[in-house]
Amino acid sequence: MEDIDYVIVIRHLLPENIWKLQKWLGVGQEKKLSKAVEVVDQIIEKFILMKREELSKGAKSKQQEDGFDLLTLCIVNNGERTTGLKFDNKFLRDTIFSFLFAGCDTVNSCLTWFIWLVFTYPGVEKNIREQLKTIIPMEEAEKWKLFTAEDLKNMIYLHAALCETMRLYPPVPFQHKRPQKHDILPSGHHVHPKMRVMFNLYAMGRMEFIWGKEASEFKPERWISECGTIKHEASYKFLTFGAGPRKCIGIETSFTQLKVMAAVIIHNYEIKMDGSCSLFILKGPLAFRGRSFSCKYILFSCIVVPAFARFATSFPSL
């Protein structure tokens, strides 16, 4: 997947006719991309066949025990009757590939920044811990615990903290679009099909005329309404997941993964930076930091177990 990510970025930097020529000739980075996609496709197809065989044998008891995964859900709920789409192996392969490609490094990057921000702002950590206590039975409060999506569905403050993380540090800091025809933007700028219109999500998240005077501050409260529910911002204002008909299809899946992982870490561990974290931010279109930072995990238990972990973002080496 790293090879695929890298070549996709290179495509945005090279002139279109250059990378298309490389693709046609099967050389350079395009050759690397083709091989990487072929390997990933083979792995996914293997799992699809295994899952179909498992379901054909009627392994219902195991499904009921473990719950349905995404692949099982797609196979069982064939959408041909409702959408006209036949969920054949190619459709399933492309769907799983989309989730892997779009939701792996982006989730990792968001969780990395979330951990750094939460433990930089002790008040936010305290609020999340307090809210977690409200969903944990008294007798389990001091025990190791794994959470489910159902457990965390009403964790408003945790959801808000994740939104605020992605506002300040979007997993994809900038994007661009190409107009299909000549048009005039509300700002008065003329655009045409040969022009790329780039928008900087990292900069937008810090613009005061969009987010107010405290735009550069980490404040999960900005996402909570007066009645205590999540405040839904316009997708063209909070562009992390895109907007319009091509908006990310995995929004709920991403939030579920992030909330479960964040809740497990915050409830079960006390995390302290070990002092060697080297964070640096460039005042430009992108925010960068060292590939990883070290932190000390202290398990909440009668026995203190130290461990060290390294969290890496999806940014390439600098």
Set out the domains of the chain in order of their start, with CATH numbers. 1-103 (no CATH), 104-268 (1.10.630.10)
Report whether pLDDT(233) > 60: yes
Beta strands, E only, the chain: 174-177, 183-184, 190-191, 197-200, 269-273, 292-299, 306-312
Q: Which among 64-78, 134-148, 186-200, 215-229 has the top mean pLDDT?
A: 215-229
> Angle formed by the axes of helices 251-268 and 122-133, to 10°?
90
Per-residue b or e along 248-267, where b marks 16 or more CB atoms closer than 10 Å to that residue's CB? bebeebbbebbbbbbbebbb
Highest mean pLDDT among 86-95, 97-106, 233-242: 233-242
pLDDT category at 198 given cuts 50, 70, 90 is confident
Q: What is the pLDDT of residue 258?
A: 92
Confidence of residue 61 (pLDDT cuts 50, 70, 90): very low
**Predicted confidence band of residue 186 (pLDDT cuts 50, 70, 90):** confident
Segment 206-213 mean pLDDT: 92
Round to whole Å and give the CA distance between 240 and 247: 10
Query: What is the predicted pLDDT for the residue at 114?
Result: 92
Contacts of 15 (CB under 8 A, 6+ apart): none
Count of helices and strands (H, E) across the chain: 13, 7
Q: Which of 264, 255, 294, 246 is nearest to 98 (CA)?
A: 246
Q: Is 277 annotated as a binding residue?
A: no
In this predicted structure, what is the pLDDT of residue 205? 93
Three-state secondary-structure class, residue 301 = coil
Mean pLDDT along residues 209-216: 92
Task: Say how far residue 181 (Cα) sits from the centre of its chain.
Answer: 32
> 127, 133, 162: which is closest to 260 by C-alpha?
162
CB contact at 8 A, 122 and 115: no
pLDDT greater than 80 at residue 298? no
What does pTM read for this prediction?
Answer: 0.76
Mean pLDDT, range 306-317, rounded to an integer: 33
Q: Are strands 197-200 and 190-191 parallel, antiparallel or unpaired?
A: unpaired
* Distance (Å) of CA 113 to CA 190, 213, 305: 37, 22, 24
Q: Considering only 21-30, 162-171, 286-295, which range has the smallest mean pLDDT?
A: 286-295
Pair 64, 28: CB distance under 8 Å: no
CA dist., res. 89 & res. 42, Å (int)? 12
